[in-house]
Chain A
Amino acid sequence: QQPVQSPQAVILREGEDAVINCSSSKALYSVHWYRQKHGEAPVFLMILLKGGEQKGHDKISASFNEKKQQSSLYLTASQLSYSGTYFCGTELYGGSQGNLIFGKGTKLSVKP
């Protein structure tokens, strides 16, 4: 039931865009996106609850498809500070106490 994240890793130049995908075989109650830097705890980026939803802040946005089985995180005009590992956490309908199952992560490296 672990969501599948792609790509596993991506290298960008500053100012370039990236898309990270998160897919589930089952419909999801919600999707949460986090960024984790080496040796630090994950930092919350966004939560999506509704099918067809899109939201964002600054140059980071995310979408949740109508079937609620796929979410994408969009990073535009990337900055050096965007480097880190991005995780999607998915919650299933009827999941035990709303637990999140995290994908394996996407390592993003932004170079000057």
Chain B
Amino acid sequence: GAVVSQHPSWVICKSGTSVKIECRSLDFQATTMFWYRQFPKQSLMLMATSNEGSKATYEQGVEKDKFLINHASLTLSTLTVTSAHPEDSSFYICSAREDRNQPQHFGDGTRLSIL
């Protein structure tokens, strides 16, 4: 149980393109979903937290207009990187959890490469 599916696994695209990443909880309802960014050999950095039906809460330094998050249902959240540039290249990982006393379960991550 507790499976989180993230798509796509990798994306390569040109600078200026917008990229959408999907995160789905397959066998549980996720009241909260989280989006992280991870650079090579570094820790997970939280970008934003989203609850179903409400606006996402962004961490300090994360541009809301660049990283659009939508949490339309209890099983789906999307992250759209708008007008992506090479510095946005990274490993993006989502996680989802049922409630506060449950663990966060991670998707497999999306490796984004902007040329």
Contacts and interface: CB of A to CB of B under 8 A. Distances in A.
Contact of A99 (B46, B105, B106, B107): B46
Nearest to B4: A41
A36 B10 CA distance: 18
Contacts of A44: 2, 103-106
A103 B49 contact: no
Interface residues on A, range: 20 to 34
Interface residues of B, number: 23
A42 B103 contact: no
Contacts of A47: 101-103
Contacts of A91: 100
Interface string B75-94: 00000000000000000010
Nearest to A44: B103
A102 B108 contact: no
B106 A97 contact: no
Interface in A86-108: 87, 89, 91, 96-105
B44 A87 contact: yes
For B2, B42, B44, B101, the residue with the greatest tally of chain A CB atoms inside 10 Å of its CB is B44
Contacts of A34: 106
Contacts of B103: 32, 44, 47
Interface of A: 2, 29-30, 32, 34, 40-44, 47, 49, 87, 89, 91, 96-105
Interface of B: 2, 6, 32, 34, 42-44, 46, 49, 51, 57, 93, 97, 100-109
Given A41-B6, A103-B43, 10 more contacts: A32-B103, A40-B108, A40-B109, A41-B109, A42-B44, A44-B104, A47-B101, A49-B101, A96-B49, A97-B57
